[in-house]
Structure 1
Amino acid sequence: MTADVSTAPALSHGRLIPVTVHFDDLDALGLLHNARYPLKVEQAWTELWQGYGIHFEGDWAAAGDACNAVRELRISYEAPVTRTGVYAVHLWLERLGTTGLTYGFRFCSRDGAETYAQGTRVLVRLDSETLRPAPWSDRFRSAGRELLRTED
């Protein structure tokens, strides 16, 4: 599923990935539960990386760049999501290092115009045997460079 580019505002960086908020994502007040925002962002990243052929299918030895761990997550909630439906996650890379990266995100309206939450997440690529930091592959780095945010 891709965003409707005919109605989405032009993005200066990154990609806009559609996500769906379901009834069971809402809390007792009918708002998107605060813990669901990072989950929806993760779902969007998974879809984006799968488009580049990078995915985890249960085999740690073959996981490659999909073998990574979260080092840090920061999120700021800007406005409540009050109903189910299709929204979007705007994703980009802030930094792409040898073994780590920092990505930025916005949980937003389907067209990307309204921001509900935003933040950053730091990931570290791990060696599947030692679980120590390991370098990203050339293929991953190439895909990542397409997502790097340049100064606006």
Structure 2
Amino acid sequence: MTAEAPTAPAVAHGRLMPVTVHFDDLDALGLLHNARYPLMVERAWAELWQEYGIRFDGDWVAAGDACNAVKELRITYEAPVTRPGAYAVHLWLERLGTTGLTYGFRFCSADGTETYAHGTRVLVRLDAATMRPAPWSETFRTAGRTLLRPAH
């Protein structure tokens, strides 16, 4: 009998990325510090985009679509995370424009059933030479379309 590799829990749209909360992520009250949520979301996105070959390796000109800036971040905290362990970040795109995008996220239980925080973040793709908005590449747009949340 051979053991099968564990599979990530299914979500209706986007991707569920595993994350780990460590003891030192908790604040003096024993709660996941509010600043850790966006950090873990950022790390989950970085891991997901790396799967598509999009990453920053130290050269902004070569970074292409990874050369972007945050325009807006909104987060709502629903329930406290009170212990270290395995959790997940559910990621998806709400909007994919020519030079910007809006992504949604949920910080949730490892199986995706319980939500601790949720929010959105707006990114703008930048030209590394001018620091002005630039269009996403077609490769990025193709990957991004797979993450778009279906219209209601």
Alignment TM-score, normalising by the size of structure 2: 0.94
Structure 1 or 2, whichever has the larger Rg, is: 2
CA spacing shift, 1:127–1:3, aligned 2, 3 Å: farther
Q: Which residue of 2 aligns with 1:56?
A: 56
Aligned to 2:130: 130
Q: In the aligned structure 1, how far is the partner of 2:61 from the partner of 2:38? A: 26
Which residue identity is paired with 2:88? Answer: A
The alignment status of 1:149 with 2:152, answered yes or no, reads: no
Residue type of the alignment partner of 1:30: G
Taking the aligned partners of 1:140 and 1:44, their CA distance within structure 2 comes to 17
Q: Which moved more, 1:67-76 or 1:10-19?
A: 10-19
Q: Unaligned regions of 5+ residues in structure 1, if any? A: none
Matched, 1:69 2:39: no
Deviation sequence 1:81-131 (CA, Å, 0-9, x none): 001111000000000000000000000000000000000000000000110
Q: Secondary structure at the match of 1:147?
A: coil
The CA distance in 1 between the partners of 2:30 and 2:15, in whole Å, is 28
> In 1, Cα distance between the equivalents of 2:45 and 2:83?
22
Contact conserved, 1:3 with 1:18, CA < 8 A, in 2? Answer: no
The answer for the alignment partner of 1:82 in structure 2 is 82
Where do 1:18-29 residues align within 5 Å?
A: 18-29=18-29
State how far apart, in whole Å, the 2-side matches of 1:123 and 1:61 are: 18
Distance 1:4 1:39 in 2: 24
Count of matched residue positions in the alignment of Structure 1 and Structure 2: 148
Task: Tell me the percent identity.
Answer: 78
Whether the 8 Å CA contact 1:3–1:16 is kept in 2: the answer is no
- Deviation of 1:3 after TM superposition, in Å, equals 7.3
Runs of 4+ in 1 over 4 A off after TM superposition: none
Instruction: State the AA in 2 paired with 1:4.
Output: T
Question: Is residue 15–residue 92 contact of structure 1 (8 Å, CA) maintained in 2?
Answer: yes
Please tell me whether residue 4 in structure 1 is matched to residue 7 in structure 2.
yes
Q: 1:92 to 1:84 in 2, by over 3 A?
A: same
CA distance in 1, matches of 2:6, 2:117: 18
